[in-house]
Amino acid sequence: MLTFVGLGLYDEKDITVKGLEAIRAADVVYAEFYTSPLGGKRVEQMEEVFGRKIVLLQRSDIEEHAEEVVLAPAKNQNVVLLSGGDAMIATTHLDLRLRAIDRGIETRIIHAPSISSAVAGVCGLQNYKFGKSATVSPPYKGVISEVPYETIRANKERGLHTLLYLDISMRISEAVGLLEAVEEKKGGAVLKKSLLVGIARAGSAKPVVKADYLNRLKNYEFGELPHVLVVPGELHFVEREALIKIAQAPEEI
């Protein structure tokens, strides 16, 4: 069997009891952190809390060498693959699961909290008002992806909020700079007067949640990673109150 276990939002204590039971019953325990930020998770701490040796995998182990590294052992043993957040948020994991099914390997998913589900509660926005999400990545060969900006624009036209995942090494200030560059290139005005919500280290003892307009938020110090960014759409009066009280948004919103 191949069991995908989510580790939750921040540290080794976020795992579910069911996930912990699966780890302790496994023959082999792998972990990967390239699809989700490490945050407060440390392999040594996890091994101490979980009581098991954990083998850390690289991206190539799953995307290029999965057959010999993960799937071959799972044919005859109970293999657990740990990842940050929820176990099936990354498309990489779905691909691996489908490949396992094709080889007659039984699969199981043990879910855990993810920023995609926690973000609404963290900042006080209503979860059913979120539209399509997008990922802000560093420029590739000097080209900045326009997908995040266009996603924001499309969601705003429908009054919906946008959750922007950031590259695992990216800070909110960097992401805002890339979005500004795309807006300037397009001659748009979607973000110039937009309220943004920055979130750092969700799930930790002291997360940072700050809402402000773009020109001020980009200079705010959010501290250590991981970071995510939310661009609100139309706000219900309760959401306005929540952003002011929870995220210290300007009173005039």
Average pLDDT over residues 43-71: 92
Report the chain's C-alpha Rg in angstroms.
20
Tracing tokens 């999965």 back to the chain, one arrives at 66
- Confidence (pLDDT) at 193: 84
pTM listed for this prediction: 0.90
- Dump the DSSP string for the chain: -EEEEE-BSSSGGGS-HHHHHHHHH-SEEEEE-SSS--TT--HHHHHHHHTS--EEPPHHHHHTSHIIIIIHHHTTS-EEEEESBSTTSSHHHHHHHHHHHHTT--EEEE----HHHHHHHHHT--GGGB---EEE---BTTB---HHHHHHHHHHHTT-BEEEEE-TT--HHHHHHHHHHHHHHHT--SSTT-EEEEEESTTSSS-EEEEEEHHHHTT----SSPEEEEE--S--HHHHHHHHHHH---TT-
Where do the domains of the chain lie, and which CATH numbers do they carry?
Answer: 2-110 (3.40.1010.10), 115-247 (3.30.950.10)
State mean pLDDT over 233-241: 97
Confidence bin at 168 (pLDDT 50/70/90): confident
pLDDT tens digits for 72-131? 999 999 999 999 999 888 788 999 999 999 999 999 999 999 999 999 999 999 999 999
Query: Tokens at residue 88, please?
Result: 């099936």
Strands 227-231, 162-166: pairing kind: antiparallel
The least confident of 15-19, 82-86, 179-183, 236-240 is 82-86
Q: What CA dihedral angle connects 134, 64, 14 and 49, to 10 degrees?
A: -160
**Residue-wise pLDDT tens digits, 17-56:** 999 999 999 999 999 988 776 676 788 999 999 999 999 9
